[in-house]
């Protein structure tokens, strides 16, 4: 099986690559080749049981997607995107990459011909929903994005469903919760603070909390995100019917509950490294964000999370990223 990952140098892309390299299989199939694509050079693995190519390019320029699908990868993970904060600040860039690029990719698959019909896994976002919404968003709730990013993801979902209905590809879209704790450096996502206020204090550094502690949001660990992607790549897509875009399970927690979990797992001193500096730009964005979900369809279709509590989310970070230790 040949796997192509677009956005492979990103946070989720790196985690997915690591897991696939470690397991050497996707579902029941042995991996025979992997292509890692990103606009930033993806790291070439030191050791792999199969050939791994890297492609450093912008997938959203005319002709790029055709080259990427020319060798007919069996599974395509489309993770490449401009994230929420940047897509809001740079309208043209967000639409060019998140919308035009996605359409170009899907068209490259469609036009490859010869019965080519790969599984395409697309990472959508809960930003396709906007306030006002019920306390817990069910599977029947409609798209009302309040950000350009959410609008671009919502259009991507529609394209994925239509291209799949027409038989051009076999797509599954997964609406990821906000991934927490995001490892590495902060990115330009407006949701970054949910992770920063945990990751930085655990590393002995101060972090800024730009919103109030009663802000509630929907989260999942990076370990869960990789699990969702693998399941989306291997599940029976027919079971999803025409509704191929699914809200993923997660954990609903307030910022205050996150901080309480940090105190329980790492202690008061670590939590005291959080500094409160309200930021009206971030507060304005977060105000219209979903707080809680009832992700029944995804659960019925076999998607599961790696954590049961927010304490688990913090422990997973300490285990997976910090070698089991943090700065007390
Ligand atoms: N992390 C989250 O909380 C979260 C939540 C919901 C949805 N998502 C979605 O999941 C996916 C992965 O998220 P992430 O957290 O790893 O983001 P990330 O920003 O870490 O990674 C995205 C990658 O896409 C690459 N990229 C951007 N434009 C590109 C282009 N034109 N050509 C090639 N590569 C390009 C970037 O260089 C980056 O490495 C994204 O589609 C994102 O929208 C993430």
- Whether 256 and 236 map to the same domain: the answer is no
The string of pLDDT tens digits covering residues 31-69 is: 999 999 999 999 999 889 999 999 999 999 999 999 999
Q: Does one domain contain both 22 and 113? A: yes
CATH code, 286: 3.90.25.10
User: How far does the centroid of ligand 1 lie from the alpha carbon of residue 241, in Å?
Assistant: 27
Tell me the per-residue pLDDT of 293-319, one tens digit each, with 9 for 90 and over: 999 999 999 999 999 999 999 999 999
In a domain, 66, yes or no: yes
Do residues 87 and 15 make contact, with C-beta atoms less than 8 angstroms apart? no
Note whether residue 186 is domain-resident. Answer: no
Residue 59 Cα: closest atom of ligand 1 = 32
Q: In what order do the strands lie in the sheet with 52-56?
A: 52-56, 33-38, 2-6, 75-78, 119-125, 170-176, 245-247
Give 191's pLDDT tier (boundaries 50, 70, 90).
Answer: confident
Q: With a threshold of 0.85, does the pTM exceed it?
A: yes
* 134 and 211 part of one domain: no
Cβ–Cβ < 8 Å for 218, 126: yes
pLDDT of residue 285: 80
The residues annotated as belonging to the active site are: 149
Estimate the crossing angle of helix 255-266 against helix 192-202, to 10 degrees.
20
* pLDDT at residue 323 is higher than 70: yes
pLDDT tens, position by position, 66-90: 999 999 999 999 999 998 889 989 9
Residue nearest (by alpha carbon) to ligand 1 atom 28: 81
The pLDDT value given to residue 47: 87
Residue 272 sits in the same domain as residue 125: no
Structure tokens that stand for 133 in this block: 């919404």
Please state, as a whole number, how many other Cβ atoms lie within 10 Å of the Cβ of residue 63.
Answer: 9
Identify the H or E element spanning 207: strand 207-209
What CA–CA distance (Å, rounded) separates 30 from 162? 30
| CA–CA dist 46, 124 (Å, integer) | 31
Helices (H) and strands (E) in the chain, counts: 13, 14
The atom of ligand 1 lying closest to the CA of 12 is: 16
Mean pLDDT, all residues of the chain: 96
Distance from C-alpha of 171 to C-alpha of 208, rounded to nearest angstrom: 39
Euclidean distance between CA atoms 269 and 231, whole angstroms? 39
Residues of the chain with pLDDT > 70: what percent? Answer: 99
- Residue 99 DSSP code: I
Mean pLDDT confidence for 231-256: 97
Of ligand 1's listed atoms, the one at least distance from the Cα of 176 is 6
Q: Quick check: helix, strand or coil at residue 192?
A: helix
Two structure tokens written together for 100 = 């035009």
261 and 149 within one domain: no
Q: Which residues contact 269 (CB under 8 A, 6 or more apart)?
A: 328
For residue 82, the CA-to-ligand 1 centroid distance in Å is 6
Ligand 1 pocket test, candidate residues 42, 79, 126, most atoms within 8 A of CB: 79
Average pLDDT over residues 274-284: 93
For a pocket test of ligand 1, which of 4, 5, 8, 11 has the largest count of ligand atoms closer than 8 A to its C-beta? 11
29 in a structural domain: yes
Ligand 1 pocket test, candidate residues 42, 63, 80, most atoms within 8 A of CB: 80
- CB-defined site of ligand 1, < 6 Å: 7, 9-13, 38-40, 58-60, 79-83, 97, 101, 123, 125, 176, 178-179, 187
| Domain that residue 264 falls in | 192-217+251-293+300-321
Question: Sorting pLDDT into bands at 50, 70 and 90, what band is 188?
Answer: low
Confidence of residue 149 (pLDDT cuts 50, 70, 90): very high
As for how many domains the chain has, the answer is 2
Q: Are 232 and 258 part of one and the same domain?
A: no
138, pLDDT greater than 80: yes
Q: Does 327 map to a domain?
A: no
pLDDT score for 187: 67
Has residue 21 got a pLDDT over 80? yes
Judge whether 54 and 36 are in contact, CB under 8 Å. Answer: yes
The residue with tokens 């740079």 is 90
Task: Look at 20 and 282; give whichever has higher pLDDT.
Answer: 20
Give yes or no: residues 87 and 65 share one domain: yes
Output the pLDDT for position 185. 80
CB 74, CB 127: distance < 8 Å? no
């Amino acid at each position: 099986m040949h796997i192509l990952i677009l956005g492979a140098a990103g946070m989720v892309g790196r985690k997915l690559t690591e897991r696939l390299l470690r397991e050497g299989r996707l579902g029941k199939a042995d991996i025979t080749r992997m292509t890692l694509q990103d606009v930033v050079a993806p790291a070439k693995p030191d050791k792999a049981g199969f050939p791994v190519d890297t492609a450093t390019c912008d997938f959203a320029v005319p002709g790029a997607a055709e080259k990427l699908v020319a060798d007919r990868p069996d599974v395509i993970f489309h993770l490449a995107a401009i994230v929420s904060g940047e897509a809001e600040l740079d309208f043209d860039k967000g639409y060019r990459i998140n919308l035009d690029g996605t359409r170009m990719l899907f068209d490259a698959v469609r036009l490859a011909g010869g019965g080519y019909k790969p599984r395409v896994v697309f990472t959508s976002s809960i930003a396709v929903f906007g306030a006002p919404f019920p306390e817990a968003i069910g599977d029947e709730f409609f798209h009302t994005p309040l950000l350009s990013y959410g609008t671009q993801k919502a259009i991507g979902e529609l394209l994925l469903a239509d291209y799949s209905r027409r038989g051009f590809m076999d797509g599954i879209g997964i609406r990821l919760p906000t991934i927490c704790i995001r490892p590495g450096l902060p990115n330009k996502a407006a949701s970054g603070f949910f992770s920063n206020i945990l990751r930085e204090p655990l590393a002995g550094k101060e972090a800024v909390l730009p919103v109030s502690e009663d802000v509630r949001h929907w989260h999942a660990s990076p370990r869960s995100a990789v699990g969702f992607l693998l399941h989306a790549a291997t599940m029976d897509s027919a079971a999803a019917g025409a509704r191929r875009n699914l809200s993923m399970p997660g954990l609903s927690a307030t910022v205050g509950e996150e901080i309480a979990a940090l105190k329980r797992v790492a202690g008061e001193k670590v939590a005291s490294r959080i500094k409160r500096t309200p930021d009206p730009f971030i507060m304005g964005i977060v105000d219209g964000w979903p707080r809680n979900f009832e992700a029944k369809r995804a659960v019925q279709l076999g998607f599961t999370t790696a954590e049961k509590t927010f304490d688990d989310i913090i422990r997973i970070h300490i285990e997976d990223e910090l070698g089991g230790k943090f700065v007390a």
